[in-house]
C-alpha cells in the first residue's frame, strides 16, 4: 500500500510538472492571433492586405516548428529530455515576452521564428518523460491529461491576452504571458530531479538516452521513422488535424453561409465541440488504460463522429440539437487520442520516443497548413456543405491509419 501511494504521488508530480509547460506552449501559439488587429495598428501595417501581412507572423512560427521539431526529437533521444524541455519553454517564453517590447514588424518575424524553435520541444520531450516516468497502469491517463492541458492553453490565451490588453496594455499582455512561462521553466529546473528516469523502477523506457540509443545513427533513426506503423501514425496526425482542426476553423463560417446560423449560436456550437473534445480526451485516458490501443475503440469513435459531422452537411440542424451533435462529435474524436498515443508508444523502440513523437506530431502542423486552403476553396466554390463532408471524410479516413498501424505492428 505504501509503495502504491508512493508511485501515485510520483506520477501526479511528474504529470503536473510536464503538463504546466505544455499548457503554456499551446497558450503561446494561441496568444498572437487574438492580437492581430491591435498589432496592425501598433506597428502601422498598411496596404491592401494588412491581415495577410500580420498573418505571416504565424506562418513563420508554424513553418519553423514543422521544420525543426523532428531534429529536436533526435536531440531528445541523444541528449535527454529534461534539459531540452527546460530550454525550450525558456526560449519560447522569452520570445513571446519580447513581443511586448518590439518596435518594428521585422522584429515580430524574428521573434516568431525563435518562438517556433522553442515550441518544437514539447511533444518530443514531454512524451519521452511521461513514457519513462509514469507507471504503466496510468499511462493512458497521463497522456490524456497532457493533451487536455494543451486544449486548455488554447482557451486560456485569448482570454488572458484580450483581458490584460483591455485593463492595462497590449504590451503588458505579452510580457506577463512570457513571465508565466519563465516561472514554468524555473519550476522544471528546481524540480528536475523528479524527472530523473533512474528513480522509476516500473518503466522500461527512459527519458534519458542509454549508451546504445545515444550511438544510434541518424540514418537508422530516419529508417525507423519511415517504417509503416510510424508513417501511419504520422498520417493519423495529419488526418486528425484536417478533420477535427478543419471543422474548428471553418465551422462558424460554414454554418453561416449554409443556413444563416446566427454567429452567437455557431460560436456556442464551436465551444461545445471543443469542450466535448476535452472531456473526451480525459475520458479516453481511462479507456486507454483499461483496454489499450484497440481497433474497436477507433471504430466506435471515429466512424460515428464522421457520420455525425457529415449529417450537418445534409440537414439544417439548429439550436440545442446542433450544439449537442457537435459536443458529441468532439467527445468521440477526443476519446481516441490517449489510445492513439499508446499506439504510437507501442510501435516505438525504447529510447526513441523523442524522435518518433517529434516526427509523428509534425503531421498536425502539415494538416493545419493544408486544410485552410482546402476548406476555403470548398467554401468559396462548392458551398458550406462540403466543409462538413470533407472534414467527415478525413475523420473517417483516420480510422484506417489506426488499423494499419496496429495490425502491421502486431503481425
* pLDDT at position 333: 95
Q: How far apart are CA 291 and CA 288, in angstroms?
A: 5
CA geometry: angle at 89 spanning 83 and 95, to 5°?
A: 130
Residue 93, C-alpha cell as written in the block: 517564453
Rounded average pLDDT over 349-372: 87
Q: How far apart are CA 259 and CA 318, in angstroms?
A: 9
pLDDT at residue 2 is higher than 60? no
- Please identify which residue in the block is written with the cell numbers 499511462: 139
Of 19-23, 91-95, 214-218, 403-407, least confident by mean pLDDT is: 214-218
* pLDDT at position 121: 95
**Percent residues over pLDDT 90 in the chain:** 50
Q: How far apart are CA 17 and CA 145, in angstroms?
A: 12
Q: Who wins on pLDDT, 213 or 242?
A: 242
pTM for this prediction: 0.85
> Distances in Å between the alpha carbon of 160 and those of 33, 278, 318?
13, 20, 31
Q: Who wins on pLDDT, 2 or 168?
A: 168
pLDDT at residue 290 is higher than 50? yes
In the chain the domains, ranked by start, together with CATH numbers, are: 2-215 (1.20.1250.20), 224-410 (1.20.1250.20)
- pLDDT confidence band for 283 (50 / 70 / 90): very high
Summarize pLDDT for 9-28 with one digit per residue, the tens: 888 899 999 999 999 999 99
Summarize pLDDT for 85-142 with one digit per residue, the tens: 999 999 999 999 999 999 999 999 999 999 999 999 999 999 999 988 888 888 999 9
Q: How far apart are CA 132 and CA 353, in angstroms?
A: 9
- pLDDT confidence band for 62 (50 / 70 / 90): confident
- pLDDT confidence band for 199 (50 / 70 / 90): very low
pLDDT at residue 197 is higher than 80? no
Q: How many residues does the chain have?
A: 411
- pLDDT confidence band for 56 (50 / 70 / 90): confident
209: left (phi over 0), alpha (psi -120 to 50) or beta: beta
Q: How far apart are CA 356 and CA 343, in angstroms?
A: 12
Find out whether 277 and 331 touch, Cβ atoms under 8 Å: yes
Rounded average pLDDT over 232-249: 91
* pLDDT at position 3: 55
* pLDDT at position 72: 93
Q: How far apart are CA 155 and CA 295, in angstroms?
A: 31
Amino acid at each position: 500500500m505504501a509503495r502504491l501511494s508512493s508511485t501515485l504521488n510520483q506520477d501526479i508530480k511528474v504529470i503536473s510538472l510536464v503538463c504546466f509547460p505544455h499548457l503554456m506552449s499551446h497558450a503561446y501559439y494561441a496568444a498572437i492571433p487574438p492580437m492581430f488587429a491591435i498589432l496592425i495598428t501598433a506597428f502601422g501595417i498598411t496596404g491592401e492586405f494588412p491581415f495577410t501581412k500580420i498573418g505571416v507572423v504565424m506562418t513563420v512560427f508554424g513553418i519553423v516548428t514543422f521544420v525543426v521539431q523532428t531534429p529536436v526529437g533526435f536531440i531528445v533521444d541523444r541528449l535527454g529530455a529534461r534539459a531540452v524541455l527546460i530550454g525550450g519553454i525558456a526560449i519560447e517564453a522569452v520570445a513571446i515576452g519580447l513581443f511586448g517590447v518590439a518596435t518594428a514588424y521585422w522584429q515580430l518575424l524574428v521573434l516568431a521564428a525563435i518562438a517556433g524553435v522553442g515550441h518544437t520541444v514539447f511533444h518530443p520531450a514531454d512524451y519521452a518523460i511521461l513514457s519513462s516516468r509514469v507507471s504503466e497502469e496510468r499511462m493512458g491517463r497521463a497522456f490524456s491529461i497532457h493533451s487536455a492541458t494543451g486544449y486548455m492553453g488554447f482557451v486560456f490565451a485569448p482570454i488572458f491576452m484580450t483581458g490584460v490588453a483591455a485593463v492595462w496594455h497590449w504590451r503588458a499582455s505579452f510580457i506577463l504571458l512570457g513571465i508565466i512561462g519563465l516561472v514554468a521553466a524555473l519550476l522544471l529546473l528546481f524540480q528536475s530531479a523528479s524527472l530523473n528516469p533512474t528513480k522509476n523502477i516500473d518503466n522500461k523506457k527512459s527519458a534519458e538516452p542509454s549508451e546504445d540509443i545515444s550511438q544510434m545513427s541518424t540514418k537508422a533513426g530516419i529508417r525507423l521513422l519511415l517504417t509503416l506503423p510510424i508513417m501511419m501514425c504520422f498520417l493519423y496526425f495529419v488526418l486528425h488535424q484536417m478533420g477535427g482542426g478543419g471543422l474548428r476553423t471553418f465551422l462558424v463560417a460554414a454554418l453561416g453561409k449554409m443556413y444563416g446560423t446566427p454567429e452567437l449560436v455557431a460560436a456556442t456550437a464551436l465551444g461545445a465541440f471543443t469542450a466535448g473534445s476535452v472531456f473526451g480526451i480525459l475520458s479516453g485516458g481511462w479507456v486507454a488504460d483499461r483496454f489499450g490501443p484497440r481497433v474497436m475503440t477507433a471504430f466506435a469513435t471515429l466512424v460515428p463522429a464522421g457520420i455525425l459531422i457529415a449529417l450537418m452537411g445534409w440537414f439544417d440542424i439548429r439550436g440545442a440539437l446542433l450544439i449537442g451533435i457537435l459536443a458529441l462529435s468532439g467527445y468521440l474524436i477526443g476519446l481516441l487520442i490517449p489510445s492513439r498515443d499508446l499506439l504510437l508508444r507501442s510501435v516505438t523502440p525504447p529510447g526513441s520516443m523523442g524522435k518518433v513523437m517529434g516526427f509523428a506530431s509534425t503531421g498536425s502542423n502539415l494538416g493545419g497548413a493544408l486544410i485552410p486552403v482546402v476548406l476555403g476553396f470548398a467554401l468559396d466554390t462548392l458551398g458550406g456543405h462540403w466543409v462538413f463532408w470533407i472534414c467527415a471524410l478525413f475523420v473517417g479516413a483516420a480510422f484506417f491509419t489506426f488499423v494499419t498501424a496496429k495490425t502491421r505492428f502486431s503481425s
